Amino acid sequence: MGDVLSGGGEGQRLGERWAALPRKVRRVTLAATALVLLAVATGFALTTRPDAAPRGTQRVPYPVHSTRITFVRVLDVDARKRTFAVEMRATTADPVLIERIGQDYATLDLVLRPSRPVKVEPGRPKALLLRVRVVSCLGLPLRARLPYLEVTLRNARATQVLSFIPGDHYARSLTRVFRTVCGPSRGPSTGTP
Amino acid sequence: MRHRSLLILTTTVTVGALTLSACGSRDDKGGSGDSGGKTTVTIGLDAPLTGDLSALGQGIKNSTDLAVKTANKNNEVKGVTFKLETLDDQGQAGTGQQNATKLVGNEEVAGVVGPLNSHVGQSMQKVFGNADLVQVSPANTAPQLSQGPDWQKGDKKRLFDTYFRTATTDAVQGPYAAQYLFNKKKFKNAYIIDDKKTYGAGLAGTFQDEFKKLGGKIVGSDHINPEDRDFSAVATKVAKSKADFVYIGSEYPTGAPLSAQIKKAGGNIPAVGGDALYSAEYIKLHKKKSEGDMATSVGAPLETLDTAKTFMKNYKAGGYKLPYEAYGGYAYDSAWAVIQAVKAVVEKNDGKLPDDMDDARKQITDAMKDVKFSGVTGDVAFDEYGDTTNKQLSVYEVKGGKHVPVQTGTFQEN
């Protein structure tokens, strides 16, 4: 046997003790340590799962489930020009872009003013102004019960074209304004504005 | 030998890991120490489980069963185990009324889910009203059930405090279809047929009223017997008319053959109807001639509802043989509403239901007014008439052999 240092100082250090172990024992110990670490990591992941998992995968709801657009009032009625405005109120649970509002009546021209899309943020209701022009008094539905607005909404999840039905108050207000601009006192309808 | 050592180690470590994970989930259970002494509360279920409308009825039954099982599994109401008692009304008002009497007579019944048909619901209301037993229908759409007979004149009056529903009414459904067809599809001439039943005649009435107000023309109308399957005489009349479409106020067992026979008679026009035509059975019965036909139905398409995804997954896992159909989500929410009302009463009474069942039923009915939760079909709550506050509905068109949503509407009165 040659002149070989087997250690130094007070005795064997950890590395030296490890090296002195039989290869089989070292292999088994390594495998056990790896499994224990894996188990601890798994346990940690399981105990912290409720906080960690949904956050990354959660998606905002479709616009139809997070946005409300309700009728407020009719204003600026101009019987001579057959125009008026409608004020609506938009609220949302998630940021949403109102891209378009229209009403599919052939006798009405209804647009959002100003015409650019309106961004609505949670907790910050937004007033929407619709400019309406009666294109023709002929065939104007005077007493429709549930007129709806066709609205295009876009959020982080999807773009949807939806019907918003503002209900009785909106229907009655439309009836009143239609009678004002197209009623008998306005003279015979010409079919043109 | 080495393999054996590793196996022992792996087993030891796996047991350790399982112990760790068990420790991690203990908090989720809230330390519930319930053992024995549980009260059994029965939820009654009435729907057509046999007969022509059984596809819809079975979907309602299975979905209610899923809600009951989920509540028990989650220990939703501490100290209470829910049980389901199902009764078949076969779509008949008389049978429905007998079932209502039977459910009232069962002292364990704390609330009822159902029925499907409006005329059946109408026959049950008084029985439940007299016994203060709460009823939540997932599918009745006739407005008068909650708003009284003069609702159309604006004189809304609630007749029974015990009646609630999770489905939108025909007061919205009929006019919405009329607006869609007249303004969007530009259909101006309608032929209207109804089966004289509460639902069919009522829906056709609300549709016709709005269609006429919009300027639409009714080029013909007829009544049919819902038991008939030979509609050749009416079909010929419709085919010869100048109608752009035929509106059918009836259910799919009648509506499908009627629409098919109109097409066979040469009427190349779409048939349109309400939620009772929105069923896969309609397309099946139609024998491939239903392309282009339309139906409105309550709610937004379930695919757009994140809240519905768990329901759809659990329904599949539940191994139910028949699909949940049009009202499955609404039936689940109806049952859950009953469960939540029971929960509110239990919590109010120091953790148990009042011993006197009459008192318990009365309190559960009162509690229903304040029930609010995020359900399968969206936010569930009820207005002063017992109607759902979630008033969404959709138009579906048959395309490629299935109902495809083409428009969704939401009623948002301020």
> Is A49 in CB contact (< 8 Å) with chain B?
yes
Is residue A118 within 8 A of residue A128, CB to CB? The reply is: yes
pLDDT in tens, A134-173: 999 998 998 899 999 999 999 999 999 999 999 999 999 9
Range of the domain at A39: 14-57
Residue A26 within a domain? yes
For position A42, what pLDDT does the model report?
46
Reference B183, options B220, B221, B211, B218; nearest CA is B211
Q: How far is A8 from chain B (nearest CA, A)?
A: 34
Structure tokens at B105: 């007579």
Same domain as A139, residue A47? no
Residue with tokens 């704390």: B110
pLDDT band at B12 (very low <50, low <70, confident <90, very high): very low
Q: Say which CATH number the domain at A171 has.
A: 2.60.40
DSSP letter (8 states) at residue B82: E
Same domain as A172, residue A81? yes
Residue A51 phi/psi, 5-degree rounding, is -85, -35
Residue A1 within a domain? no
Same domain as A47, residue A96? no
Q: How far is A11 from chain B (nearest CA, A)?
A: 31
Cis, peptide link before residue B226, omega less than 30° from 0:
no
Cβ contacts of B71 within 8 Å, gap of 6 or more: B77, B82, B336, B339
Q: Domain end: A5, A26, A57, which one? A: A57
Quote the distance between the C-alpha of residue B183 and its chain's center.
28
Separation of alpha carbons B389 and B383, rounded Å = 6
Strands (E), B71-129: 80-88, 109-113
B214 contacts A144? CB cut-off 8 A: yes
**Contacts with A47 from chain B: Cβ below 8 Å:** 20-21, 23-25
The domain tally of chain A equals 2
Q: Is the dihedral of CA B272, B409, B171, B124 positive or negative?
A: positive
For position B26, what pLDDT does the model report?
29
pLDDT band at A19 (very low <50, low <70, confident <90, very high): low
- Provide the ipTM: 0.79
Separation of alpha carbons A86 and B59, rounded Å = 43
Same domain as A109, residue A172? yes
Reference A86, options A130, A127, A126; nearest CA is A130
Separation of alpha carbons B154 and B136, rounded Å = 24
Residue A8 within a domain? no
Residue A153 within a domain? yes
Question: What mean pLDDT comes out for the span A47-59?
Answer: 40
Same domain as A135, residue A179? yes
Same domain as A155, residue A84? yes
Same domain as A109, residue A20? no
Cis, peptide link before residue A193, omega less than 30° from 0:
no
Cβ contacts of A58 within 8 Å, gap of 6 or more: none
Q: Where in chain B is the domain with CATH 3.40.50.2300?
A: 39-168+303-382, 171-298+394-410
Structure tokens at A149: 């607005």
For position B25, what pLDDT does the model report?
30
Same domain as A31, residue A92? no
Reference B118, options B193, B212, B53, B191; nearest CA is B53
For position A38, what pLDDT does the model report?
56
- Which superfamily does CATH assign the domain made up of B171-298+394-410 to? Response regulator (3.40.50.2300)
Q: Is the pLDDT of residue A45 over 50?
A: no
Give Dmax over CA atoms of chain B in angstroms: 91
A147 contacts B409? CB cut-off 8 A: no
A70 contacts B414? CB cut-off 8 A: yes
Q: Which residue of B has its CA nearest to A167?
A: B413
pLDDT band at A184 (very low <50, low <70, confident <90, very high): low
Same domain as A69, residue A50? no
pLDDT in tens, B178-208: 999 999 999 999 999 999 999 999 999 999 9
Same domain as A125, residue A142? yes
Q: Is the pLDDT of residue A119 over 60?
A: yes
**Contacts with A144 from chain B: Cβ below 8 Å:** 175, 179, 210, 213-214
Same domain as A182, residue A132? yes
Residue A20 within a domain? yes
For position B378, what pLDDT does the model report?
86
Residue A6 within a domain? no
Structure tokens at B50: 């046999």
- Closest partner residue to A68 (CB to CB) among B17, B305, B412 is B412
Separation of alpha carbons B305 and B158, rounded Å = 31
The region of weakest confidence among A45-54, B74-83, B298-307 is: A45-54
Same domain as A163, residue A114? yes
- Which superfamily does CATH assign the domain made up of B39-168+303-382 to? Response regulator (3.40.50.2300)
Report the amino acid identity of residue A21. Answer: L
- The 10 Å CB-count burial string (b at 16+, else e) for B279-303 is bebbbebbeebbeebbbbbbbbbbe
